[in-house]
Amino acid sequence: MHKSPDDHWSPPSGSWASSAARRRNMQAIKSRDTEPERLIRRLVHAKGLRYRVAAKPLPDLRRTADMVFRPAKVAVFIDGCYWHGCPEHYVPPKTNSGYWSDKVARNIARDRDTDQRLSEAGWTVLRFWEHESPDACALQIAAVVSRLRARRA
């Protein structure tokens, strides 16, 4: 069904967004190509490693990793402190706190489930927080990928 530019979606009352402004704000938050992801990717690429961006490590798993090294079977996730419940930086929201706290709890549970499924399929999962040093993250990624590539060769 084609919608005209005059058609506007509005959430049902009691929805996740407390106002139209809040909804616009939340929808504008990037889910990929964040600054921490881009910095880490640039550093890993400079080390000569190639990877897939925002790819599904497993075809039947409807989840994407930020970086995927298929031959080495390494999936890298750069987790945002708010959305993934960083123990150092997560601050519960003041408005609509029930919804957002539940959302973050579901994200954490999904992250653990993803880690388990990938591990069971023989993948190495690397997770980093957005506040971690991009240099340190890139060094760890390069070391793990290089070690696993050498082992498979």
Q: What is the pLDDT of residues 22-39, one digit of tens each?
A: 556 555 555 678 999 999
Q: What is the pLDDT of residues 114-135, one digit of tens each?
A: 999 999 999 999 999 999 999 9
Q: What is the pLDDT of residues 38-82, one digit of tens each?
A: 999 999 999 999 999 999 999 999 999 999 999 999 999 999 999
Split at pLDDT 50, 70, 90, the class of 9 is very low
Split at pLDDT 50, 70, 90, the class of 92 is confident
Split at pLDDT 50, 70, 90, the class of 6 is very low
pLDDT in the model for residue 23: 57
Query: Mind giving me the DSSP string for the chain?
Result: ----TT----PPTT-S-SSHHHHHHHHTS-SSS-HHHHHHHHHHHHTT---EEEE-SSTT----EEEEETTTTEEEEEE-TTTTT-TTT----SSSHHHHHHHHHHHHHHHHHHHHHHHHTT-EEEEEETTS-HHHHHHHHHHHHHHHHHHH-
- 8 Å CB contact between 49 and 142: yes
- CATH annotation of 32-152: 3.40.960.10
- Domain boundaries, given as residue ranges, for the chain: 32-152
pLDDT in the model for residue 44: 98
